[in-house]
Amino acid sequence: MEIYQNMRGNIHRLPIQTTMNVYQDNLSYLWNFEEMNKTLEKDIADCGDKQDRKTNVKGLMTYWQMHTQYDSFKNLLVHIVSQHLESYKDLSLVNEGKVKIYCPSMWGNVYGKGDYTKDHSHTGSRFSFTYYVKAEEDCTPIVFTWPGKMQIKPKTGDLLIWDSEYGHMVPEGTTDTKRIVIAGNLNYHEETVTPAEVINA
């Protein structure tokens, strides 16, 4: 164990082995899969670019809170929380399972040739996710950089969920094929706290 001097206090650091988990499922089994993706793509195009490449995403990026403005985003969010989140993380031990999930941010990205995302994490949230509205065979992967190295090449309909502290990035696109992605973050409060918007109320 090593001890690092901070500005005030010490940090005790012990390297350990751990497991890095990323949940993956494909939503093509949904009865409205094609229509859902068409609507999501339309709503992203309708919103357009609102960030002017000033975030980690160097491509088209919508508003941060699309789930508060578009039903297509809200419906997808409810499905992710109700049908997939517990498959990634068992929350039954948190306050006896009385956990309220809320979403501080959910947005859309469109990547084209030359677009990419810088290496970053979503520290401050507990879980993060991406849903791939359109991801052709020649699209770029998502690359996890911390706490381990992992690369996943998505296909249309894929949903990924991971711990928000995981570092990740998207390499620069080399083709003109559009890569359309929805990303978001999830947190939870115990039942004694009332968040502004609860997904699993």
Alpha-carbon distance of 127 to 137, in angstroms, equals 27
Does residue 50 lie in a domain region? yes
The domain total for the chain is 1
Inform me whether the pLDDT recorded for 27 exceeds 80: yes
pLDDT on residue 93: 72
Does residue 14 lie in a domain region? no
Does residue 182 lie in a domain region? yes
Task: Find the CATH number of the domain harbouring 127.
Answer: 2.60.120.620
CA 20 to chain CA centroid, nearest Å: 16
Alpha-carbon distance of 77 to 104, in angstroms, equals 12
pLDDT on residue 120: 98
Does residue 10 lie in a domain region? no
pLDDT on residue 105: 96
The band of 17, judged by pLDDT with boundaries at 50, 70 and 90, is: confident
Checking DSSP bridges between strand 60-61 and strand 150-152, what pairing results, if any? unpaired
Does residue 131 lie in a domain region? yes
Please state the pTM of the whole predicted model: 0.91
Does residue 46 lie in a domain region? yes
The band of 199, judged by pLDDT with boundaries at 50, 70 and 90, is: confident
- Average confidence (pLDDT) over 121-149: 96
Phi, psi of 85 (to 5 degrees): -60, -45
- By residue range, what is the domain housing residue 110? 20-190
Inform me whether the pLDDT recorded for 9 exceeds 60: yes
Does residue 181 lie in a domain region? yes
Among 17-21, 80-84, 93-97, name the one with the lowest average pLDDT: 93-97
Alpha-carbon distance of 22 to 189, in angstroms, equals 23
Does residue 114 lie in a domain region? yes
pLDDT on residue 18: 85
**CA separation, residue 189 to residues 23, 70, 163 (Å):** 22, 24, 16
Inform me whether the pLDDT recorded for 130 exceeds 60: yes
